[in-house]
Copies of this chain bind each other. A is one copy, B any other.
Amino acid sequence: MGVTLKELAASLNLSPTTVSRALNGYPEVNAKTRKRVRDAAERANYHPNTRARSLATGRTHAIGHVIALSDSHEIVNPVFADFIAGAGEAYSRAGYEMVLSMVPDSDEAQAYRDMIARGAVDGMIVHGPKLNDPRIALLTQLGVPFVVHGRSSGVDAPYSWLDINNNRSFRRATEFLLQLGHRRIALVNGLENMDFAMRRRNGYLQALHEAGLTPDPALMRQAEMTEVFGHSAATELMRLPDPPTAFLSSSMLVAYGLRRALVDQGCRMGRDVSVITHDDDLSYLPNGRDVPLFTATRSSVRDAGRKAAEMVLSLISAPGQGPLTCLMETTLIVGESTGPAPGSRPRDTARQ
């Protein structure tokens, strides 16, 4: 492969020790020698062997991400890719590598154990936390620095996390639709054993509750967040005797399927029906018709990935600090023409 330290040292008539020190910025090395070494290293395209270095130092300069494959929506979800892109960016800036492990979700816990036991990573990011997620206790017990993307309700012990304020996001979106006069608002959610989905539902319920409305279970759906689900959910919901006039969607893919179903049924977006979705950015639409609110845009997800990566790196370099947390607020963007047009469809109440 590449040149080794020993070879480089020999070519310079220096000891490996000195060369190592020169390259790693140790102060005791002569400025002249250092320059000589640096130049030679550059010319020879010398890069220290990661494996050897980490064997010697005990640090791998790698962060692990485990993806459970049966959560097929997880990896397929474009939002996931954005998060990974952001994290990867932060890693490479810091000279870290990202190790991705895709496993059948039955092997998930073992995948975490393995990565650690084999000394493959210095830290980990936990994706898609569920309620009471056992991975948090596992990693804590193993003593690995880690950051959860999301939180896990039911886990009491402290841990580091970065999350979007899902509750607030959906509460606000619901309030907004209520203000527009909507009374039948459908919630097309992710699986509610996922922590984020539960928080979103709670936000939705809270808003309804505060408006003195009783939630209709028929309007609440949950499943893996795919276009297929969005499509079938919308189709079925519109067949109800008293169909919803607005939809809250948990994912851009769901929203795509959902809008498609609505359109095929002749609904006009933003007139006959309103759709608000999380994790999407339709700001290019001329007047934000059915997207009065972006609860999180693509680029904010990338920011989240970057931020989460920086958090693990920080935990690694300064092990003393307590758990780090970061709650990201979402952005409200209201287009010009938002609710359904008056009278375009029977409605419980007049709009403001």
Contact = CB atoms under 8 A, between A and B. Distances in A.
Interface of A: 1-2, 45-52, 54-55, 60, 62, 67, 69, 75-78, 80-82, 84-85, 88-89, 91-92, 97-103, 111, 113-114, 116-120, 227-228, 231-232, 253, 256-257, 259-260, 263-264, 269, 282, 284-286, 289, 298
Nearest to A52: B55
A117 B2 contact: yes
Given A81-B80, A285-B231, A118 B48 contact: yes
B102 A284 contact: no
Given A98-B101, A98-B102, A264-B269, 17 more contacts: A2-B116, A45-B117, A47-B114, A48-B118, A50-B51, A50-B119, A51-B51, A51-B52, A75-B81, A76-B298, A88-B100, A97-B100, A99-B99, A99-B100, A231-B285, A263-B263, A263-B269
A296 to B, nearest CB: 14
Contacts of A50: 51, 118-120
A259 to B, nearest CB: 7
Contacts of A98: 99-102
Looking at A52, A62, A101, A117, the one whose CB has the most chain B CB atoms below 10 A away is A117
Nearest to A102: B88
B113 A45 contact: yes
Contacts of A54: 51
Contacts of A99: 62, 97-100
A117 B284 contact: no
B88 A67 contact: yes
B69 A85 contact: yes
Looking at A54, A69, A75, A102, the one whose CB has the most chain B CB atoms below 10 A away is A102
A92 B103 contact: yes
A149 to B, nearest CB: 16
Contacts of A76: 78, 81-82, 85, 298
A276 B2 CA distance: 48
A102 B322 CA distance: 29
B92 A47 contact: no
A118 B41 CA distance: 13
Contacts of A49: 55, 118-119
26 contacts: A1-B117, A2-B117, A2-B119, A45-B117, A49-B55, A49-B118, A51-B51, A51-B60, A52-B55, A52-B119, A67-B85, A75-B81, A75-B85, A85-B102, A88-B101, A89-B102, A97-B100, A97-B101, A98-B99, A100-B100, A227-B282, A231-B285, A259-B260, A263-B263, A264-B285, A264-B289
A31 B101 CA distance: 33
Nearest to A228: B284
